[in-house]
Amino acid sequence: MNVADSEQMAATLAPMGLRISPALESADLIIVNTCSVRAKAEQKAFSVLGQLADLKRRRPDLIVGVAGCVAQQEGARILQRAPHVDIVIGTRAIQRLSEHVRRVAEERCRIVDVDLNIPFAENGTAASAEGAPEKVCRFVTIMRGCDNFCAYCVVPYVRGREVSRPPEEILREIREAVSSGAREVTLLGQNVNSYGQKEGLCTFPELLACVNTIPGLNRIRFTTSHPKDLTADLLKCFARLDKLCPHIHLPVQSGSNRILRRMNRAYTREHYLDKVSELRDTCPEIAITSDMIVGFPGETEADFELTLDLIRKVRFDGLFAFMYSDRPNAPACQFAEKVPDDVSRERLHALLALQDGVTFARNSALVGSLLEVLVEGAGKRSGFGSPATTEPAQWTGRTPGNKIVHLHAEPGAGRIGPGSLARVRIERAMAHSLRGVVDDGAGADGTEKGGAHDAA
């Protein structure tokens, strides 16, 4: 979501003649786009702001802004804590960023804009094709905010209540993205499963079906999906929509029913396991990733063992795991029975070690298979087939199941570049990615889908 917001800021500022700077020292405007979902992310944001103070002293005309969730959460307090900051702009005021920058440049004033009651039509999200970055894979926001109020989560307080964007605006933005080179879109929302319900718009499965018809678009992804709202209609989309990638991010957070109740997640581990079974019955090749929180207040060793057991049962393709931290306004910050940091840290290490083994095993099962890879860009060690190097050109892309693949093309393998679909033979598995070689000249659009090989 923050990446999408940053892209929108760049697009909003483009008509003013502002472009991305290669270095902080050469920038006329610096915006720190922040996250407050965890305490560590918030601390990092203020650390970055502190580092900018000296630059602002040396260059008084530099404009410094703070955006995102920390800006929404702290508001004017940021101006007190960081006197060198000129603009504090909240999560729903991005479309007003350019006018705030212009005013600060002309009047040398300080501005705080953290109003959450901005209609979606005014707030907007569509970055114009001219101002948006030309990328093979693009994020498209379809809704903002959240109504679930999980006990640990600050999102409803910093991004507001749930509101969906009209489908015609979403489809127009995707068509513009495709016309500027995008071949894959990821539809974004805190809970995409509830898209359109409050406004009486089309359902999320209906929106996916519309996106699936857009010419020139090769792949569709979405995130995030709440387990309690994963419907049968959405499950069927994985079987009937040819552009929908066989991958779902389905955050579970804990394997203990007692902790799930305390978290206010509104489902049980049994419900979650049933949904996983239905997903794999509908789409056997589907890759499933998830989120976990360890050390939630009151979590016992028995609760944690249930979480490890869930990981063993599901065998996720990947996992994002974090230590619990108190967040402002979230109910859990008032909960007793806080788990000591050293215990939480030990549990986190154990959980990650278990999942690393599972991920490597699932990746290893793909060695020797042929997978379709959407090439996103050059790899870090690319020689680009130059006469000065014997290394083949190296590229990076993803499989339909969202596996990162570092691939190289042998001489005669055909033209490979950003946006091309390459049939890749997997030669090596690593902890969090794969390596492969383009298979005998199959480097053009229209190669076989290969998704059936994309799960272990």
37-41, 110-114, 252-256, 307-311: lowest mean pLDDT where? 37-41
C-alpha–C-alpha distance, residues 129 and 373, integer Å: 25
Instruction: Give CA–CA dist 193/225, Å, rounded.
Output: 6
Query: What pLDDT, on a 0 to 100 scale, did the predictor assign at position 409?
Result: 81
Average pLDDT, the chain: 91
* pLDDT tens-digit readout, 270-295: 999 999 999 999 999 999 999 999 99
Amino acid 124: pLDDT: 47
Q: Residues 147-175: pLDDT tens digits? A: 999 999 999 999 999 999 999 999 999 99
Q: What is the pLDDT of residues 196-232, one digit of tens each?
A: 999 999 999 999 999 999 999 999 999 999 999 999 9
Q: What are the C-alpha distances in Å from 432 to residues 137, 211, 308, 363, 456?
A: 20, 30, 20, 8, 14
pLDDT at 342: 98
- First and final C-alpha spacing in the chain: 29
Question: What does pTM read for this prediction?
Answer: 0.89
CB 135 within 8 A of CB 129: no
Distances 212 to 168, 226, 319 between C-alpha atoms, Å: 14, 22, 28
Cβ atoms of 107 and 121 within 8 Å: the answer is: no
Q: How far apart are CA 253 and CA 148, in angstroms?
A: 14
Predicted pLDDT at 413: 58
Task: Quote the pLDDT of residue 134.
Answer: 72
Q: Is the pLDDT of residue 130 over 90?
A: no
User: Which of 64-73, 113-122, 232-241, 349-358 shows the lowest mean pLDDT across its residues?
Assistant: 113-122
Q: Does position 382 have pLDDT exceeding 60, yes or no? A: no
pLDDT cut 70: percent of the chain above it: 89
